[in-house]
Every structure is written in structure tokens, then in C-alpha cells.
Amino acid sequence: MQKTSALRLRTNRARLGHKARYALQHPERVVPYLRRAGRDGWLRFKHRGSHIAYYRAVMASDTARSPEAAVGGAPSHDRWLAIGQLQYDYLVQHGLKPEDRMLEIGCGNLRAGWRFIQYLEPGHYYGIDISPDILIEAKKTLVRYGLQEKVPHLTPVDNLKLDFLPDASFTVVHAHSVFSHSPLEVIDECLSHVGRVLAPGGFFDFTFDRTEGNEHQVLREDFYYRTETLIRLAEKHGLVARFMDDWESTWHPQSKLRVTHPTADPAPQQPADVARA
């Protein structure tokens, strides 16, 4: 089943015409959108020149209202669980093993992270996030699921240079719904450094909002990229990126790329039991 229509892939959500049509179709969302646009405009002005500082402030505001909604999606615990389960199932079906060492970029409040922590050997999970507020919620999730004995690492960061992490230390790097909120310079920064911490034979999976039309952004919160843009960006830093076709059969609206070293032998792309809608 193709989850994303050709029309949706070519839609430019930044255009005034699209916004007007959307408002007519969903009038109940107009006032919340205007409130968010006003808040984001103020935060962009306050933190002008730094997308990381701006988005950290967005996360602080969203987390104060609902930690689960802050990491994406409607404020529903069931959906929070479902998205985390999807991420976990996909990586396990792609060969994630308890002995793997995992770095999760943008770990949030451990929507998927608590499952990874539970599955991996003690000390093998390292989560980073730009938001101290969401990491406080991550610690609450850790306690709620009784995972203290797994001694995970949860670290706030103010960039994606990963310079405090050792070379070739992670067999799996994962970033879900991170680059969908990142301008190209932030993605470029991450890709320019992730190869150093990625172990030989390891892989870096990330999701992104895909477009086949003009690349665009909405409120500097949601960014839409063409697949080839991100593949070329990985190649610029000596990495190989490939589109994960089997992820397209899941119900999640974003697409996924897998990045490896050129000599890596990544896990098979299409295991037998990838979760489907």
C-alpha cells in the first residue's frame, strides 16, 4: 500500500493557496494555528540566528503543555505508544541486537527509547536531545518503566557535532522525526560528524518529510526535502544513503533513509515481517 499520494508529495504547504484551502477544510484548526504562528514568530525573533535555540524554546513551550504531544502527533498516549512500537519493531526486524550500542539523536521523552533501553544490554543506549525539558520527561519515563538498572545515558546538547562522543562507538544511530524539524544546515552538521562515531558495519537511520515538488518549510518547524537532496548531502561527507522502501509500507507518514560507510554491509532492507498498516 502506497501511504503517500503523488498529490501530497507535490503539495507546497508554505503557499498561501494551500493554507487557504486547508483553513476552509479545517476551520477548527485556524485559531490554534494562528496562536502557534504568533508564538513561533516571537520565539524566532527572540532566538534569531540560531535554529537550535529557537526550537529548544518551542520544545519547552510544547513540553509544558503535553510531553507526549511535544514529540509529535496528537496528545494521545496510545499514539505515543504506537509510534514508539513501530520504530522499535522496524529496527529489531532489521537486525538490532541486544549487544548493539545505540545512539538516539532527538530521543525526546523516550517514546521509542524506553523499548530500546529495555532490549539492549545495560549501558548500551545513549540518548541526546537539544531540549532539557523533554529530557526531564525522559527520566520520568525511565522511572515509570523501571529501567534504572539499564543505566542509559541521557544528555542535553546544543548542536549535532557529537564531539563529546568517542570514535566508532555506535553500531546503530537513530533519529526519528528530527530532520523533519531541521533546516538543511543542521542536517549537514549532523551528517558531517555522524560518520566519525558510527562503527564499521553500522548504520544511521533517519526519517524526514518527503516532497517531490519544491522544498519548503512551515513556521520554521516543519521542513520538507527531496530524497536526492539528502542523499547528496550524505555523499558530500563520504557516506552512502539509500531510501528504505519497506518503511513506505508502514502507516507512518514520513520517509526513511539509511546512511552507512561506503564499505558497510548493512542489514537486509526488506525483512519478512516489517510492520504494515
Please write the tens of the pLDDT for every residue from 217-255: 988 889 999 999 999 999 999 999 999 999 999 999 999
Which of 185, 211, 194, 213 has the alpha carbon at shortest distance from 260?
Answer: 194
Strands 222-225, 216-218: parallel, antiparallel or unpaired by DSSP? antiparallel
Mean pLDDT is lowest, of 28-42, 84-98, 159-173, for 28-42
Contacts of range 61-66, beta carbons closer than 8 Å, 24 or more positions apart: 63/109, 63/131, 63/133, 63/134, 63/137, 64/133
**pLDDT score of 149 more than 90:** yes
State what percent of residues in the chain have pLDDT above 90: 74
- The predicted pLDDT at position 274 comes to 46
Q: How far is CA 111 from CA 64, 70, 153, in A?
A: 17, 11, 15
Q: Which three cell numbers stand for residue 83?
A: 509510534
**Average of per-residue pLDDT across 170-182:** 97
The number of residues making up the chain comes to 277
Cα–Cα distance measured from residue 67 to residue 82, given in angstroms and rounded to the nearest whole number: 16
- The chain-wide mean pLDDT, for the chain, equals 91
CATH number of 6-260: 3.40.50.150
H/E element, 79: helix 77-93
How confident is the model over 85-126, as pLDDT tens digits? Answer: 999 999 999 999 999 999 999 999 999 999 999 999 999 999
State what percent of residues in the chain have pLDDT above 70: 92
Crossing angle of helices 51-65 and 30-46, in 10° steps, is 140
Cα–Cα distance measured from residue 243 to residue 223, given in angstroms and rounded to the nearest whole number: 18
- The predicted pLDDT at position 14 comes to 80
Q: How far is CA 207 from CA 20, 58, 174, 185, 227, in A?
A: 28, 20, 9, 16, 11
Burial class (CB in 10 A: 0-12, 13-18, 19+), 255: buried
Q: What is the reported pTM?
A: 0.88
Could you count the other beta carbons within 10 Å of the beta carbon of residue 153?
A: 13
**Average of per-residue pLDDT across 208-219:** 93
